């Protein structure tokens, strides 16, 4: 057999292999061929999210991913057939000024901020969606129940932004046979007095995100006050647990990236609407066992707590 004959056969065989491979693994036609990740800063969380989303939407998907940093609020040119992923509240606010036909998914954004921007921008929720930074109340209460099976009352501080979630919190608490003692904080100088009043009843403190109450400046005061009263705190971020809360439930930047990628890949071509805004399905827990020991609280292994939460959240 000649060299050229052998080469021709090999080329033919290679062609059949390629045809077979792509016949079994077709390149999907997605709703958008371009994704623009809109950011306004370079925090660790944002950088981790962007990196992971690029990995999740790999080259085989046929989707081109661009990153656009806009820290000035200037107008942005977005090509047609592009989905915008706005990372953070400020980025989502800027995205609200885009043409109403441009689909937008917000991420690392509190529910209250999303709803405010949605209302202000007058966008349609099926073209301007989000995956909330907040965890569902049922998930937070499931964490409390898994750690404190015999606890039936808790304290909560709500501020100007979070107080509108009061009814949802009370409704979720009823499902777990829990009572919630709510103190409203309308001004910064009301924080300490309301916190002290909650501490008088020795209740667990469930931290609900609010820009007036839970800030970098107030974190140390709140955690030291609760520790002095031997009152456990359930936080809403990994850093809050590491700083002194007994535990926290949260979704990591990588988990948010995975959820956004799944949303994009699950929408077929010509599908012009987005899923409505919701909380992340994936979540993690952080338990500060040193603080737990100092409060004489015994907590099961993380895996046991996690599985119990999955069961109770349903």
pLDDT per position as a tens digit, 128-174: 999 999 999 999 999 999 999 999 999 999 999 899 999 999 999 99
Q: Would the pLDDT of 26 be above 50?
A: no
Q: Would the pLDDT of 100 be above 80?
A: yes
The strand pair at 179-184 and 128-132 is best described as: unpaired
Q: Would the pLDDT of 48 be above 70?
A: yes
Q: How far apart are CA 224 and CA 231, in angstroms?
A: 10
What φ, ψ does residue 206 adopt, rounded to 5°? -95, 120
Phi-psi region of 270 (alpha: psi -120 to 50; beta: other; left: phi over 0): left
Q: Would the pLDDT of 251 be above 80?
A: yes
CATH topology agreement for domains 34-133+253-279 and 137-250+283-313: yes
* Residue matched to tokens 């099926």: 126
Question: Angle 191-199/216-228 helices, nearest 10 degrees?
Answer: 30
Check if the beta carbon of residue 40 is closer than 8 Å to that of residue 50. no
Q: Predicted confidence band at 36 (pLDDT cuts at 50, 70, 90)? A: very high
Q: What is the arithmetic mean of pLDDT over 94-107?
A: 94
Question: Which pLDDT value is given to residue 59?
Answer: 62
Angle at 76 between CA 39 and CA 90, to 5 degrees: 35
Question: What SS3 state is found at 146?
Answer: helix
CATH class of the domain at 137-250+283-313:
alpha beta
Per cent of the chain over pLDDT 90 is 73
Domain limits, the chain: 34-133+253-279, 137-250+283-313
For the record, the structure tokens of 206 come out as: 């469930």
Per cent of the chain over pLDDT 70 is 88
37 beta partners: 67, 85
Q: How far apart are CA 45 and CA 109, in angstroms?
A: 12
Question: Which pLDDT value is given to residue 273?
Answer: 87
Q: How far apart are CA 151 and CA 145, in angstroms?
A: 7
Q: Would the pLDDT of 15 be above 50?
A: no
Q: What is the arithmetic mean of pLDDT over 117-138?
A: 95
Q: How far apart are CA 39 and CA 50, in angstroms?
A: 9
The strand pair at 284-287 and 247-250 is best described as: antiparallel
Angle at 110 between CA 171 and CA 104, to 5 degrees: 120
What φ, ψ does residue 80 adopt, rounded to 5°? -65, 165
Q: Would the pLDDT of 90 be above 80?
A: yes
Out of 22-36, 71-85, 171-185, which region has the weakest mean confidence (pLDDT)? 22-36
Q: Predicted confidence band at 44 (pLDDT cuts at 50, 70, 90)? A: very high
For the record, the structure tokens of 245 come out as: 């809360």
Summarised one tens digit per residue, pLDDT across range 258-295 is 999 999 888 766 667 899 999 999 999 999 999 999 99
Residue closest to 90 by CA, chosen among 151, 41, 152: 41
173 contact partners, CB below 8 Å, separation of at least 6:
137, 141, 154, 179, 180
pTM, two decimals, is: 0.84
Q: How many CB atoms lie within 10 A of CB 116?
A: 16
Check if the beta carbon of residue 232 is closer than 8 Å to that of residue 259. no
The fold adopted by the segment(s) 34-133+253-279 is Rossmann fold (3.40.50)
Check if the beta carbon of residue 88 is closer than 8 Å to that of residue 69. no
Check if the beta carbon of residue 50 is closer than 8 Å to that of residue 87. yes
Helix or strand run (H / E) with residue 141: helix 137-147
């Amino acid at each position: 057999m000649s060299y050229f004959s052998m080469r021709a056969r090999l080329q033919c065989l290679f062609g059949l292999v390629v045809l077979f491979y792509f016949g079994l693994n077709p390149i999907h036609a997605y709703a958008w061929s371009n994704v623009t990740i809109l950011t306004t800063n370079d925090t660790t969380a944002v950088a981790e999210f962007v990196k992971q989303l690029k990995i999740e939407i790999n080259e085989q998907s046929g989707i081109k991913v661009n990153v656009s940093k806009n820290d000035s609020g200037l107008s942005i040119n977005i090509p047609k057939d592009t989905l915008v992923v706005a990372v953070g509240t400020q980025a989502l606010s800027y995205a609200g000024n885009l043409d109403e036909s441009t689909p937008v998914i917000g991420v690392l954004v509190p529910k209250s901020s999303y709803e405010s921007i949605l209302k202000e921008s007058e966008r349609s929720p099926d073209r301007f969606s989000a995956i909330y930074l907040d965890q569902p109340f049922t998930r937070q209460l499931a964490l409390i129940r898994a750690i404190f099976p015999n606890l039936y009352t808790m304290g909560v501080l709500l501020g100007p932004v979070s107080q509108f979630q009061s009814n949802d919190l009370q409704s979720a608490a009823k499902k777990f046979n829990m009572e919630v003692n709510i103190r409203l904080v309308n001004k910064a100088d009301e924080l300490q007095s309301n916190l002290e009043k909650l501490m008088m009843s020795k209740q667990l403190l469930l931290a609900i995100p609010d820009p007036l109450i839970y800030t970098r400046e107030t974190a140390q005061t709140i955690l030291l006050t609760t520790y002095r009263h031997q009152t456990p705190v359930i936080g809403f971020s990994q850093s809050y647990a590491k700083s002194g809360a007994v535990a926290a439930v949260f979704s990591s930047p990588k988990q948010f990236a995975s959820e956004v990628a799944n949303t994009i890949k699950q929408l077929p071509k010509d599908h012009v609407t987005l899923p409505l805004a919701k909380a992340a399905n994936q979540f993690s827990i952080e338990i500060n066992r040193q603080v737990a020991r100092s409060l004489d609280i015994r907590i099961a292994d993380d895996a046991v707590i996690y599985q119990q939460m999955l069961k109770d959240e349903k």
